[in-house]
Amino acid sequence: MPTVDPKKIKGPTIVDNSSNDRSCPWATSYPAVPGAEAATVSMKKDVEGYLASYQDTGGEQTAGCGAEDASEVPELDISFAFLVASGDVLGVRLMTQDHTETGDGLSTKTYWNDGAAHTAPSAAGLIADGSRPAFLAAVREQLKQREGSAPSRLAQLKDTDIDDVSFASDGALKVSFGRGTAGVPAAGRMTATSSRGRPSPRGCRTSANGSRTRP
């Protein structure tokens, strides 16, 4: 979905931090928006948790902090984009680029704040509880036609794999799966869209949070 220019949002504080230490370079950034404290807490927890994992030099780790040859140290960069910032609704996508990971090292996660209900629903929480099996069935049906999809991986998709959900400009619900989640790793990220212009899969509907955050 289109992103929102941060300059058009009133009152956000950008929480950023970084290290230029050649043995452990990293940069993190996420927004703290007044009235969206619950979403801010979730982002803070995830950013700090990922950074702590990146800085861990124990075990068999050969890349990341503490590597002897600084020229080979991959960089960690966590950035964000506003998806929605209107009235009581806030949507943010965190993008984590970690070159200690295989492939492109990119992972994403969306965070939502529903001010009317004073809640911060997860990405999966935008879909009604009883509708998620039907939603995942529709996703499997759509992605199985995609080059690089893996039937075994599609069959194993579950609620906890739904961590990046957004809306297209026409209100269509979009879910994005990380590399290797729905297909072979070489296929990269995979996205499925439930068009608002077509009848929804039987029994598949957005939650109350999802209905309020939908454009």
At 66 the pLDDT is 58
At 40 the pLDDT is 92
Structure tokens at 178: 């990380």
At 155 the pLDDT is 95
Q: Comparing 6-114 with 124-213, is the CATH topology the same?
A: no
Per-residue model confidence as pLDDT tens for the chain (215 residues): 556 666 666 778 999 999 887 777 889 999 998 888 889 999 999 999 999 988 874 334 445 565 555 444 458 899 999 988 776 788 899 999 987 777 778 899 999 988 777 778 888 888 878 888 888 988 999 999 899 999 999 999 998 999 999 888 777 788 999 999 999 988 889 999 876 444 344 444 555 555 545 55
3-state secondary structure 31-85: EECCCCHHHHHHHHHHHHHHHHHHHCCCCCCCCCCCCCCHHHCCCEEEEEEEEEE
C-alpha angle 144-96-48 in degrees, rounded to nearest 5: 130
The CATH number that domain 124-213 falls under is 3.90.640
Sort 152 into a burial class: Cβ within 10 Å, 0-12 / 13-18 / 19+.
exposed
Q: Is 107 helix (H, G, I), strand (E, B) or coil?
A: strand
Look up residue 17 and give its DSSP letter. E
Sort 171 into a burial class: Cβ within 10 Å, 0-12 / 13-18 / 19+.
middle
In the chain, where the domains are located: 6-114, 124-213
The CATH number that domain 6-114 falls under is 3.30.565.40
Which of these, 121, 111, 140, lies nearest to 201 by C-alpha position?
Answer: 140
